[in-house]
Structure 1
Amino acid sequence: MTVPTLPATELAGDASRPLLIVGPSLGTTCATLWASTARLLGDVFHVVGWDLPGHGGAPVGGAFTMAELARGVLELADRVGVARGDAGTFAYAGDSVGGAVGLQLLLDDPDRVDAAVLLCTGARIGDEAMWRDRAALVRTSGTPSMVAGSAERWFAPGFLDREPATGSALLHALSDTDDEGYAQVCDALATFDVRGRLGEIATPVLTIAGAHDGPTPPESLAAIAHGVQHGRSVVLGEAAHLAPAEAPETVAALLRGHLQPVPTPIRRVAEPSADADRAATRQIADGADGDAYARGMAVRRAVLGDAHVDRATERADDLTAPFQELITRYAWGEVWGRDGLDRPTRSMLTLALLAALGHEAELAMHVRAALRNGLTREQVAEVLIHTGVYAGVPVSNSALGVMQRVFAEIDAADGAL
């Protein structure tokens, strides 16, 4: 058994920013899986990825365990730290086997990882017989034999039609993966099982599941979040097994919210003084509400988009800033951030209520949000038609008009590109 030497790939940001190390799924490279999400994080993190043995040109050595693979990531972190001029802690995010490595890191060397996001993974993935069989198949028939099955397992319905270039790059990376390197990872996964040790993990953990993920379904991620000491889980309605590539904007927003230091929301209070020049802005800490605010901001950005949230916060003044904090913390953090309903369902409920109450400006905003949350245009229309049966025909008539205007604006903007 050996500790693999894992090459580091610079994905975004620079050494002046906090270090975020991201890990790949079996059969992918960190660049093909994480590039889009990393670009969205480069303003706040120095994002560095690692590749599995035999993946993306990484060398293939002897057999290894998951614990030794995690040790390889720590050695990579040390090398990156030397290049950065620091050898401190880092944030970590990993998908599938990359997430399993994250769990191993949190168990073996928790003081090195500040916070972790584990995506589309499990404390136990599959079973030993499955992984041994797959390793044998790949050693006999090569990684190209895995492409057809992976195309079905990896992506949510319709993704390959919407994003053919991204899907093609990921599948080509799989086909190009070294057969022995792929098989060695299968052998390491065959004996990986830390389900009984989750309670040892005290590092804050966010798990992200894909609603369409068969290999590691949402229940697998929820079990991790419930098993660790400080965890929570989010389900993405628009993703399957490769969430960083399928939903980069949503994943980036969630990573920002979980991995950055919890921001102290600013409540602007004019100091009592007759002299306007002495009026000041001071920060009032929210204490336990800080986590809800950070979670709410991540969810709000994921649902409404960065541009909308940035406009809303930039327009805030001394009188309206407290309201922006309120809706971020409670509406988005405490309600939209709950696990009981997925986001497409919350979008449908919101559309129906806003239509019934006649809040057309908010309805237009949430028609756009519903599309971001994975609803089709036909599903949006169905919700608004259904609402008319219970809230009145004029309600549907007005709401469908708002919907048509939003779709026309979207189409016009797309045509201008």
Structure 2
Amino acid sequence: MKLPMGSLPPAPAGTGGRLLDGIRVLDLTTSIAGPYATLLLSDLGADVIKVERPGTGDDTRAWGPPFLAGHSLWYLGVNRNKQSITLDYSTPEGLAALHKLVRHCDAVVVNLVPRVQRKLKVDYETLSALRPDIIFCSITGFGLEGERADKPSYDLIAEGYSGIMDITGEADSPPQKVGAPAADMLSGMDAAMAIIAALFQRQRSGMGHSIDISMVESMTRFLTPRIMTYLGSGEVPRRTGAKDSVIAVYQSFETADLPLTLGLGNDRIWQRFWDAVGHPDYAQDPRFSSNAKRHALRPEIVARIQELLLEKNRNEWLRLFEAKGIPCGPINRIDEIAADQELARRGFFYQMEMGGIQVPQVGLGIAIDGHPASPRSAPPALGADTTTVLRDLAGLDDEQINTLRNKSII
């Protein structure tokens, strides 16, 4: 079978993403949130050392099917630009090696609950004693303190706690999870942002910092507009499907063939829309002169728009609306957005060589000085850099490394 990635361009060339040159990050995380945080840092130029369990490695290495040439695509998606070492730091010898690495790193990222952090001696108090200016970042479900601090969590759990599932889906449907690991990705972005801010402040003060990222809080903050409307009005938001509960016309519609999205977010766009569809007088009706009035009469307006849009196919409407400056768009399937030529042209989707095979990648989506971030290396094989890192950075000699290997510590 010909894979969709076969049409992707090669990785973008250039020097974009070198803003964190000289910063070294020790990544003790697994799954998605932590590895995504360190992926963002690595795309911006940081050197990331990924510490994995001997034998099995990051949990995501087993997340499949589907696999690509035996590699988990979940793993491949969030681990480029990193070095991988295997190290069992639950053993005294492994912990000693880990602590040597900490002394040579600017930041450490962990995703263990506080009790386990302390048990394994990878908590902030322990690591800051080794390097006082360390930037320590903990990503957990509920944060480093409080009665829920030691509860385990996954993206699904955080989404449920946050309220996002209760307001996602059609009004008569059960609660729905977001179609991607939203809490993981958001908390990963928060972690990367906070680490960069802490590194910036450290340049001034020379001080280290402990960063506490809660997946539940990252996901809940995503709901700020909805929570604010409840706090200030007492009105509990409900599931409304592909439409907004505040802007009068902000939703999906059917056309003669495929659905589209339409956002009539202000009075000027409201007028332009009705001009475009050939009914300018409808926009001038005093009953619809403000968003508040349109909100009150939304069922009537939506029914009228839906009736009109069924007269032509989606692409005809999109061409018309785009020409008139009306916010609109298709509802793409994943295969359609992955084949989007403009995103590929901008360097957002690409493929790169890894051990004799080509692997797809989803880019950073941030251009620096006019250039997309160019990857330095493909996602690493498990433990591919163990010997090099332990020798060159931790200062272990060949005999010590072989001893660790013989004990299955690496």
Give the TM-score, by structure 2 length: 0.33
Using CA pairs under 8 Å that are at least 6 residues apart, name the structure with larger relative contact order, 1 or 2. Answer: 2
The structure with the greater share of residues assigned to strand is 2
Give the TM-score, by structure 1 length: 0.32
The structure with the greater share of residues assigned to helix is 1
